[in-house]
Copies of this chain bind each other. A is one copy, B any other.
Amino acid sequence: WYPAVTDFLRSGLFRWAGDANSFVGDAYIELVCSPNNPDGAIRDALLGSGGAGKAVHDLAYYWPQYTPITRRADHDIMLFTMSKSTGHAGTRIGWALVKDREVARRMTKFVELNTVSVSKDSQLRAARVLRAVSDGYDGGASRHQLFDFGRRKMAERWRMLREAAAASGIFSLPEVTSGRCNFANETAANNHAFAWLRCDREDVEDCAGFLRGHKMLTRSGNQFGADPRYVRVSMLGRDDAYDIFIRRLASLK
């Protein structure tokens, strides 16, 4: 995604320089997506902030339904979005927590030049939604606690997926990782918004094509610079579509 945007704009201010692992230089913006898209891995900055470099932490998936909240995030620049926190992707609303006032000022200026302002309709709706989520946690347990609902739902979906992969005998998934979640106050597994699924059948070199032939739409690993034996599976669809997906996957041999 990021290289597509930078290549499109062809700004004289920045260009896509590739993987931070192989970066040489001192002026950079490092983008750290943690949990990572697509594989859910917890990532730390490799270069970090300092000198002419800045690290931007994209915490889109750092919510209790997806991953144990093991620490209070306190990075210099942190990005969040309604999209993966409450599921209101269509509002196109996100927010940032930024320590440096000058960086925040430039970000605000960019929003102003890009669209004058962010949609007020969306801001009002997002504020209402976030208030409803927050209200769910006032006054003890209730069935209106979004993150707990999400944690149960994601745990169940991941259990279904692991069973289906095991039943098929030809798919493998990343190992379960877990940690102490300070939000849930218990040990919790990483139940990412995407599954990074590998097809182990020797004759299948294009897992996405193989699944598409069996009426399952996924995103190929090569779209993420990875082996096309991998696909990214969305774990966030509606129940009925997810159930059909699981049945189809489990039936493959």
Report the separation of the CA atoms of residues A17 and B154 in the bound assembly, to the nearest whole angstrom: 53
User: By DSSP majority rule, is chain A's interface helix, strand, loop, or mixed?
Assistant: helix
Whether the Cβ atoms of A90 and B120 lie closer than 8 Å is yes
Report the separation of the CA atoms of residues A201 and B9 in the bound assembly, to the nearest whole angstrom: 47
CB distance from A6 to the nearest CB of B (A): 10
Q: Does A10 contact B (CB under 8 A)?
A: yes
Q: Does A87 contact B (CB under 8 A)?
A: no
Residues of B within 8 A of A5 (CB): 113-114
Whether the Cβ atoms of A113 and B11 lie closer than 8 Å is no
Q: Contact string, A66-104, partner B, CB cutoff 8 A, digits 1/0?
A: 000000000000000000000001111100000000000
CB distance from A97 to the nearest CB of B (A): 20
Return the contact of A8 from the options B113, B115, B116 (Cβ within 8 A). Answer: B113
Q: Does A25 contact B (CB under 8 A)?
A: no
Residues of B within 8 A of A210 (CB): none
| Interchain Cβ contacts under 8 Å between A and B, 15 examples | A5-B114, A8-B113, A9-B9, A10-B13, A11-B12, A89-B116, A90-B117, A90-B121, A91-B119, A91-B121, A92-B119, A115-B115, A119-B121, A121-B121, A121-B122
Report the separation of the CA atoms of residues A35 and B102 in the bound assembly, to the nearest whole angstrom: 37
Q: Does A4 contact B (CB under 8 A)?
A: yes
Q: Does A110 contact B (CB under 8 A)?
A: yes
Report the separation of the CA atoms of residues A12 and B5 in the bound assembly, to the nearest whole angstrom: 13
Report the separation of the CA atoms of residues A142 and B248 in the bound assembly, to the nearest whole angstrom: 57
Top 3 closest pairs, chain A to chain B, by CB: A90-B120, A10-B12, A119-B119
